Chains A and B, each alone.
Chain A
């Protein structure tokens, strides 16, 4: 069961090699050599996952992430040269869901892509229908894949939604960053907890009235995060 993947990478040899490898894993691959090519290609052939190299000529990878985010909640995987540079955080804040360090081993890429495509886990709570918080102010419908805040339907990325669902289905219990990394991204003990931190920030930006003083998505110091009922 493959995905439709868009690779945005200026080095054509890398593109070709990755195409080979990903197609071997059963995926369909579209290519773009720049951010300017990437957007129209995405519009024409909506992908399941977009791979973006941060070092692009012209408009850089960050800009492409932002543009993609304006139109879609598609999972974005950024390719970065170093894991400890602030590129990673900047890419995540621009809208990426996860990152892979170059040179990317295709097997690892494939694993990340599969993880990003997982549907939000369901059935963990006893409640059959949507989960409500704050006396119905915040409603998380896992089955339908929707979140409402008051009257408004929130536009969350797939990963943000999955994160919120994990918190919601744990009914007020604290979830550690390690647990969240594992459930949402599929990482083990050595996962990068910045993924969780940045996504929590992004979630707060969309869910909370005042992201600096969150009412729902709350930090529990030294333990993790929790969704307040």
Chain B
């Protein structure tokens, strides 16, 4: 719309200006020429009359045919100045014109007299030793030009407004449907698959709408298929796992009855089953989060209480937990069990790759609460700090798979869960040189 307006403004203004200039030049020149001609005609008449020395110059002047009544005339005959009764004499004649004519050259000049524009014309009449001057008012011309100027300006304004209106209408008609399409696309990207567009009357837009709807249909079918697949896979994976987990526990219960080699085998089995169970859980959780199928159960939770319980559950000694002054009354709106997994994952991370948790710092200000897990390890290099939160990525500092061998999903699950809570998580350098993983969450209420 802006372009239309500016374009219209530019075009109409240019047009108006050019028109005005042309018209003005033409009109002015025309007028001047005509006045000049008139003066020459009058001059010839005067010359003819002045051949008769008895002629009264003043009466002669008064008898001349003039285009307007307020024309000033001055006649110099043999050294004496004459003008009409109402005239003001030679003062009305501008000096350059006077000089030129006295030197024998006709001249004309536009001049302002009493605030009004005028044209002064002078003609030498050598034959009778006289000089004739006439000063014409240009008021009417000036008025005409004024009217012209005003109309052109108005025209330009109207054109600009029309341009703005055209731009507005165009944007409504063309851009609004496009805005609808992009809004619909954004909804789909955010996970809503029930959006469909109407074609409307415009055939071009109808094509876009139809394509869009087809695409959304296909997407929806795909997502549903994936969800069914994920759910079927989930069941198929959990069933053998149930048997494995239960049987392993039975064997571990009888561990002492086993010969040594069997005992070792059972221990290995138990470790692997546990590891496999974790992996399956993490994978299924990742796929649920991807499908956006999760529902948070939110409640208001005291931050300090939560962190103490969660760290205790993860095996962290209570003296390692440091709750800052501002955080004692902070409350967050959270799904306790998911956040517990987040804390447990970070603690586990610190233990496996960071040499153990050195500190868990809890802080809060008016807007945000933070839980920071610090470790004693080598820290995370700056180049890896973003990528470690992606699935299946393990930091470069991690060596061969130890007995715990993670698959690299822990931090990506942390990141997703924190995101679902409208929070952020990142890693930075801890004070002791190790890594500090910080989870930031919005505060629900700062006081009970």
A residues neighboring B (CB under 8 Å): 11, 13-14, 16-18, 20-21, 24, 55, 81-84, 102-107, 188-190, 192-194, 222
Contacts and interface: CB of A to CB of B under 8 A. Distances in A.
A177 B131 CA distance: 119
Interface string B227-256: 000000011001111111111011001000
- Sorted from nearest, which 8 A-B pairs have the closest CB atoms? A17-B246, A103-B242, A189-B309, A103-B241, A103-B245, A13-B243, A17-B243, A14-B242
A11 B239 contact: yes
B243 A190 contact: no
B116 interface: no
Interface in B384-415: none
B243 A84 contact: no
B234 A81 contact: yes
A82 B250 CA distance: 24
Interface of A, secondary structure class, is: loop
Contacts of B305: 189
B336 A21 contact: no
B300 to A, nearest CB: 8
Given A83-B337, A105-B249, A55 B242 contact: no
Interface of B: 234-235, 238-247, 249-250, 253, 277, 288, 294-295, 297, 299-300, 305-306, 309, 313, 336-337, 340
B326 to A, nearest CB: 22
Contacts of B247: 17, 20-21
Given A189-B336, A190-B336, A190-B337, A11 B309 contact: no
Contacts of B235: 55, 81
Contacts of A55: 235
Nearest to A189: B309
Contacts of B242: 11, 14, 17-18, 102-104
Nearest to B240: A13
Nearest to B338: A84
A14 B239 contact: yes
B277 A103 contact: yes
Contacts of A107: 249
B246 A190 contact: no
Contacts of A192: 337
Nearest to B306: A189
10 contacts: A17-B244, A17-B246, A18-B246, A21-B249, A82-B288, A84-B297, A104-B246, A190-B309, A190-B337, A194-B297
Nearest to A17: B246
Contacts of B294: 84
Q: Which among B239, B299, B305, B340 has the greatest number of chain A C-beta atoms within 10 A? A: B239
Given A81-B235, A190-B313, A194-B297, A103 B244 contact: yes
B243 A11 contact: yes
A23 B340 CA distance: 32
Contacts of A194: 297
Given A18-B242, A103-B241, 14 more contacts: A14-B246, A20-B246, A21-B247, A21-B249, A82-B234, A84-B295, A102-B239, A102-B241, A103-B242, A104-B246, A106-B249, A189-B309, A190-B313, A193-B297
Contacts of B234: 81-82
B432 to A, nearest CB: 30
Contacts of B238: 81, 102-103
A103 B246 CA distance: 8
A193 B336 CA distance: 10
A84 B242 CA distance: 19
A17 B252 CA distance: 13
A196 B245 CA distance: 29
A193 B238 CA distance: 25
A84 B294 CA distance: 7
B328 to A, nearest CB: 18
Nearest to B238: A102
Nearest to B251: A20
A79 to B, nearest CB: 8
A29 B295 CA distance: 36
Contacts of A11: 239, 242-243
Given A81-B235, A188-B309, A189-B336, A24 B250 contact: yes
A201 to B, nearest CB: 16
A106 B297 contact: no
A26 to B, nearest CB: 12
A106 B306 CA distance: 27
A41 B321 CA distance: 52
B250 A21 contact: yes
A82 B234 CA distance: 9
A182 to B, nearest CB: 12
Contacts of B336: 189-190
A20 B248 CA distance: 11
B309 A106 contact: no
Given A17-B242, A84-B295, A102-B242, A190 B340 contact: yes
Nearest to B245: A103
A14 B235 CA distance: 13
Contacts of A103: 238, 241-242, 244-246, 277
Nearest to A80: B238
A103 B238 CA distance: 6
B250 A14 contact: no
Contacts of A104: 242, 245-246
Nearest to B273: A103
B270 to A, nearest CB: 12
A36 B247 CA distance: 27
Contacts of B295: 84
A189 B340 CA distance: 10
A187 B340 CA distance: 15
Nearest to B300: A222
Contacts of A17: 242-247, 250
